A and B are shown apart, each in its own frame.
Chain A
Amino acid sequence: MTTAASDSKSHDANQMTGAAMIVRAMIDHGVEHIFGYPGGSVLPIYDELFQNSEKLQHILVRHEQGAGHAAEGYARSTGKPGVVLVTSGPGATNMVTPLADALMDSIPIVCITGQVPTHLIGNDAFQECDTVGITRPCTKHNWLVRDIKDLARVLHEAFYVATSGRPGPVVVDVPKDVQFATGTYHPPRKSDVHVSYTPRLKGDAGQIRKAVALMANAKKPVIYSGGGVVNSGPEACKLLRELVEVTGFPITSTLMGLGAYPASGTNWLGMLGMHGTYEANMTMHDCDVMLCIGARFDDRITGRTDAFSPNSKKIHIDIDPSSINKNIRVDVPIIGDVGNVLGDMLAAFKAEAKKPDIKAWWQQVATWRGRNSLAYKKNNDVILPQYAIERLYAATRGRDTYITTEVGQHQMWAAQFYGFEEPNRWMTSGGLGTMGYGLPAALGVQVAHPDSLVVDIAGDASVQMTMQEMATAVQYELPIKIFILNNQYMGMVRQWQQLLHGNRLSHSYTEAMPDFVKLAEAYGGAGFRVTKPSDLDGAIQDMIKVKKPVLFDCRVASMENCFPMIPSGKAHNEMLLPSEANDEATAAAFAGGKALV
């Protein structure tokens, strides 16, 4: 008996090295793909990946930032955590931008970083940096694992923390000697949650009843939804749609929340905020009851805070208590998971309230809609960026399509002119505003959805920040389509210089531009260039057909600006509409000096 027992112990399948535990934990958490880049401090883990390549596919990027954004795209399009593996020192510091990006947009990322051996920590060793120190303010939580005995628990905690409550990025920093050390692994158990972290999921019933009473008596209501609805999951989006149906309220959404309610829905007002539609912003400004669901009253949404929706009672559903009353005071805060709260709210509304009569309010909304705030002048000679996105939308509508973007004018035009019918189809860097996000994010989306059409609506400046990931796309045969609205400017920077800095275009023009067609071919992808509106539709069809990564150089009107716009520091009802944006009106709208935000 004793021999058998000791035998079984020596062959205990749970005895393994730290490196093996890391790979095993990923497999146990259902991870199928990881994005990474090898280096000295993660070689033991890469050795394990080599031996487990059938269970866990590793995507080799060309720069760690690419791995981070790819994991974000993967996470956002699947609802599962994105997983990243990078080495110590520069590997870790290159991950800082995607971590900060994921924290701002509440994207679950589990990032494993290698670290120098424990006895060298603090010695300024080769490729050493204080990874947990550097990433502390840009992660939801992070850990340095100094003892193999803690590793399995910390790995499971990391997945729990990243995906529960308000999702976010986490970092587990593992010194090389801990990767080599042998210890006992345990599969994830219920108790592998962080002892002090218990986010509140269920909303307070009393608060929900108060909210329902406000909604039932509203004359001029609006629903303002955000990324929290998408993060809460498909069920939450279904409930949101049902709530709109049951109440008959108009609904607008933040940049991050697009797709939770379909753009073709009758109650849809379009996006709100700085570049939102006139009807969305006016509805927000004049409403008497505002129901904010999973959004956070960001400064790009509110404009001038002391003039934000002055006459409304505000209900705010958020899983993060620190979002409540941070920027805007609300009357009925409800802390909880959107899906959970909406379920209870719907039940309460159906039981206690009737659809309020808001016909007059809808008539008012119709007159605002009549201003047609997204109108632009058609042009037969040059491609207008708005037109390019409309044509892309027309060509991809009804297909299984995912859209990512970079950051700038093209991003706002994409949000305005591309209609999203479903959640998780729209990947964009909202909070941090990271140029270079879209190309690697598209890569991550394509890994998760190999048969879908994945398009990065890009700008010529942004796309050059992470262009190297074209090589990754070619290596893994990921046919991402990089649709570049090329105006040779950093368009949004230039727009602000024109509007706020006396038209002094300081360093916002890219004098040397690569030949994107040749560049695509050099990487082993396909290149297209279109300069005439009449050629656009055909070229888009050709782009969709190509089974390779594509750089699509869409030459657009170089001086087009993005409207409508709330000048920063102004209120929702002080929008500048495209039809009114002549020089005089623009000068007046932006009078009062340079805005700070």
Chain B
Amino acid sequence: MNQPASAYFMDERKDPIETHTLSVLVQNEPGVLARVIGLFSGRGYNIESLTVSETEAQKHVSRITIVTTGTLAVIQQIKNQLDRMVPVYRVVDMTLSGRSIERELAMVKLRGVGEHRVEALRLAEAFRARVIDATIESFVFEITGNSAKINQFIDLMRPLGLVEVSRTGVAAIGRGPEGM
């Protein structure tokens, strides 16, 4: 109980845990994703969601969107650690900038007949989910939106015969005319 406080106890500070979305522009060279993920696992940071794709093919630039959690100090450290990596161009904290749009795409498979099918279709319409596959006993819906909306949709589908879900993870972009 009377353990002396040492450097290892630093993280026990009672600072609140926050969730932040980071956009990272990287040189699309082999191993760059492994490098970013290795940073998170090697230094004990959390990844809630990770999305990556090449966005400027000619310049070999990819954009990685990471949703992470931690105290503000930890999140600042994550940004600094990312920023000093050789293949990283820029890191922007979309949450801190306060002017970002976050979207996720999910495909939701349902199995059922009768009333459940009708109810599912009605909810899908309310959520602007599209039917992208159908059989006489199943649907696949495609839905986009922020994570909370998708979570809510999935919760509603559960009693109606939810089979499985595939989600892309969060992609984020800033509002207004400026680029990142």
A304 to B84, Cβ gap below 8 A?
A: no
* Interface pick from A224-232, A250-258, A322-330, A460-468: A322-330
CB distance from B103 to the nearest CB of A (A): 26
CB distance from A235 to the nearest CB of B (A): 24
CB distance from B83 to the nearest CB of A (A): 6
B86 to A569, Cβ gap below 8 A?
A: no
Distance of A322 Cα from B88 Cα, bound (Å): 14
Distance of A569 Cα from B10 Cα, bound (Å): 11
B5 to A593, Cβ gap below 8 A?
A: no
- Please report B residues at the A interface, Cβ cutoff 8 Å: 2-10, 26-27, 30-31, 34-35, 38, 42, 73, 76-77, 80-81, 83-89
CB distance from A587 to the nearest CB of B (A): 14
A196 to B4, Cβ gap below 8 A?
A: no
Q: Would you give the 0/1 interface string for A527-544, flagging 1 where the beta carbon is closer than 8 Å to chain B?
A: 000000000000000000
CB distance from A468 to the nearest CB of B (A): 31
Distance of A357 Cα from B178 Cα, bound (Å): 51
CB distance from B169 to the nearest CB of A (A): 23
Chain B: CB-nearest residue to A307: B5
Distance of A210 Cα from B90 Cα, bound (Å): 27
B86 to A593, Cβ gap below 8 A?
A: no
CB distance from A364 to the nearest CB of B (A): 27
Distance of A597 Cα from B88 Cα, bound (Å): 33
Q: Would you give the 0/1 interface string for A295-306, flagging 1 where the beta carbon is closer than 8 Å to chain B?
A: 000010011111
* Interface pick from A136-144, A502-510, A576-584: A136-144
Q: Given A299-B7, A322-B77, decide whether A196 and B2 contact each other with a Cβ distance below 8 A.
A: no
Give me 13 A-to-B residue pairs in the complex whose CB atoms sit less than 8 angstroms apart, sorted by A's number: A133-B34, A161-B86, A194-B27, A194-B86, A194-B87, A196-B86, A299-B6, A307-B5, A326-B77, A569-B4, A592-B2, A595-B6, A596-B6
B5 to A306, Cβ gap below 8 A?
A: yes
Q: Would you give the 0/1 interface string for A562-587, flagging 1 where the beta carbon is closer than 8 Å to chain B?
A: 00000111100000000000000000
Q: Given A196-B88, A321-B80, A321-B83, decide whether A136 and B2 contact each other with a Cβ distance below 8 A.
A: no
Q: Given A137-B42, A196-B26, A324-B80, decide whether A595 and B4 contact each other with a Cβ distance below 8 A.
A: yes
Q: Given A144-B30, A195-B27, decide whether A325 and B76 contact each other with a Cβ distance below 8 A.
A: yes
Give me 14 other A-B pairs in contact (C-beta within 8 A), A304-B5, A596-B9, A597-B6 excluded: A132-B31, A136-B38, A141-B87, A194-B87, A196-B26, A196-B27, A303-B7, A304-B6, A322-B81, A324-B80, A592-B2, A592-B4, A593-B2, A593-B3
CB distance from B43 to the nearest CB of A (A): 9
Q: Given A136-B31, A322-B81, A325-B77, decide whether A570 and B38 contact each other with a Cβ distance below 8 A.
A: no
Distance of A305 Cα from B6 Cα, bound (Å): 7
- Please report A residues at the B interface, Cβ cutoff 8 Å: 132-133, 136-137, 140-142, 144, 161, 166, 194-197, 299, 302-307, 320-322, 324-327, 329, 567-570, 592-593, 595-597
B8 to A596, Cβ gap below 8 A?
A: yes
Chain A residues near B34 (CB-CB < 8 A):
133, 136
Chain A residues near B31 (CB-CB < 8 A):
132-133, 136, 142, 144
Chain B residues near A597 (CB-CB < 8 A):
6-8
Q: Given A196-B26, A196-B87, A326-B77, decide whether A593 and B4 contact each other with a Cβ distance below 8 A.
A: yes
Chain A residues near B2 (CB-CB < 8 A):
592-593
Distance of A144 Cα from B76 Cα, bound (Å): 31
CB distance from B64 to the nearest CB of A (A): 13
Chain B: CB-nearest residue to A301: B7
Top 6 closest A-B pairs, CB basis? A569-B4, A299-B7, A569-B6, A322-B80, A141-B86, A596-B8
Distance of A161 Cα from B88 Cα, bound (Å): 13
Distance of A194 Cα from B87 Cα, bound (Å): 8
Chain A: CB-nearest residue to B27: A196
Chain A residues near B85 (CB-CB < 8 A):
141
CB distance from A99 to the nearest CB of B (A): 14
Chain A residues near B4 (CB-CB < 8 A):
304, 567-570, 592-593, 595
Chain A residues near B6 (CB-CB < 8 A):
299, 304, 568-569, 595-597
A305 to B30, Cβ gap below 8 A?
A: no
Distance of A299 Cα from B10 Cα, bound (Å): 11
Chain A residues near B84 (CB-CB < 8 A):
166, 320-322
CB distance from A476 to the nearest CB of B (A): 34
Chain A: CB-nearest residue to B89: A196
Distance of A325 Cα from B85 Cα, bound (Å): 18
Chain A: CB-nearest residue to B12: A306
Distance of A326 Cα from B34 Cα, bound (Å): 23
CB distance from A427 to the nearest CB of B (A): 25
Q: Which of A133, A137, A142, A593 has the most CB of B within 10 A?
A: A137
Chain B residues near A141 (CB-CB < 8 A):
85-87
Distance of A132 Cα from B10 Cα, bound (Å): 32
Distance of A146 Cα from B35 Cα, bound (Å): 18
Chain B: CB-nearest residue to A322: B80
CB distance from A368 to the nearest CB of B (A): 23
Chain A residues near B38 (CB-CB < 8 A):
136-137
Chain B: CB-nearest residue to A140: B86
CB distance from B59 to the nearest CB of A (A): 9
CB distance from A257 to the nearest CB of B (A): 20
Chain B residues near A302 (CB-CB < 8 A):
7
Chain B residues near A570 (CB-CB < 8 A):
4
Contact of B7 among A327, A329, A567 (CB under 8 A): A327
Q: Given A196-B27, A327-B10, A597-B8, decide whether A322 and B83 contact each other with a Cβ distance below 8 A.
A: yes
Distance of A166 Cα from B83 Cα, bound (Å): 13
CB distance from A133 to the nearest CB of B (A): 7
CB distance from B40 to the nearest CB of A (A): 11
Distance of A195 Cα from B27 Cα, bound (Å): 8
Chain A residues near B89 (CB-CB < 8 A):
196
Q: Which of A305, A322, A326, A569 has the most CB of B within 10 A?
A: A322
Q: Which of A166, A321, A593 has the most CB of B within 10 A?
A: A321
Chain A residues near B5 (CB-CB < 8 A):
304-307, 569
Chain B: CB-nearest residue to A161: B86
Chain B residues near A593 (CB-CB < 8 A):
2-4
Chain A residues near B83 (CB-CB < 8 A):
321-322
CB distance from A326 to the nearest CB of B (A): 6
Chain B residues near A136 (CB-CB < 8 A):
31, 34-35, 38
Chain B: CB-nearest residue to A300: B7
Chain B residues near A306 (CB-CB < 8 A):
5
CB distance from B172 to the nearest CB of A (A): 20
Distance of A377 Cα from B3 Cα, bound (Å): 33
Chain B residues near A321 (CB-CB < 8 A):
80, 83-84
Chain B residues near A329 (CB-CB < 8 A):
73
Chain B residues near A195 (CB-CB < 8 A):
27
A592 to B77, Cβ gap below 8 A?
A: no
CB distance from B90 to the nearest CB of A (A): 9
Chain B residues near A569 (CB-CB < 8 A):
3-6
